[in-house]
Structure formats: C-alpha cells, structure tokens
Amino acid sequence: MIKYSGYCENEGYGYFKYIKNEFKIEDNIKVKNFNNQPPIDGYFYNIKKENNFNKIILIGAEKINLQQYLDQGFDIDHSLNNCYYITR
C-alpha cells in the first residue's frame, strides 16, 4: 500500500499507519490531505469506534495550512516533512 499511496506524499497511507501505531490510536481520526489526493481515513474507519475531532493528521500541509489549525488551538505532536499529527 505504501508503494502506491505514499508515506508523506500522495495519499499519505504510510504516515497515517505510522501515527496510528506509534500513538496507539484506537478511535477514528480525521485526515486532511493537501496533496490533491483523496483522504485515506476510510481505510482505517471503524463504525464501532468513536470519532475524535481533536486528533488530525495533515498530509502535504504547507506552513499556512498548518497555521490555521494552530490558531484553532491544536498542537503539533509529530511532524515529518510536510506531514503533521496535531491534537488539542
């Protein structure tokens, strides 16, 4: 999957999977993709789990995109290139 959907590029599948495992995320979280690709949160969505809107993964975000979330009270928990895991 990573080969075709990318790590921190394209759909960001690899970064999403890394964050989900590294931070032991069990609930459904939002993915915002700025690479003009479809979001991949549907690959991991579980209808039996809660949606958590206080955890977001940004794929391909420029500084201006990131700043919009920081202004809303989010903090950066992890970053790699132009991918960010933010929470509030």
Q: DSSP string of 21-83?
A: HHTT--SEEEEEE-SSS---HHHH--TTS-EEEEEEEEES--HHHHHHHHTTT-EEEEEETTE
**11, pLDDT greater than 70:** no
**Residue 3: what pLDDT?**
47
Q: What is the pTM of this model?
A: 0.87
Map out the domains of the chain as residue ranges: 2-87
Strand partners, 75: 87
**Residue 28: what pLDDT?**
93
**18, pLDDT greater than 80:** yes
**Span 42-83, pLDDT tens digits:** 777 888 999 999 999 999 999 999 999 999 999 999 999 999
* Closest C-alpha among 1, 48, 45, 37 to residue 20: 45
Judge whether 63 and 18 are in contact, CB under 8 Å.
no
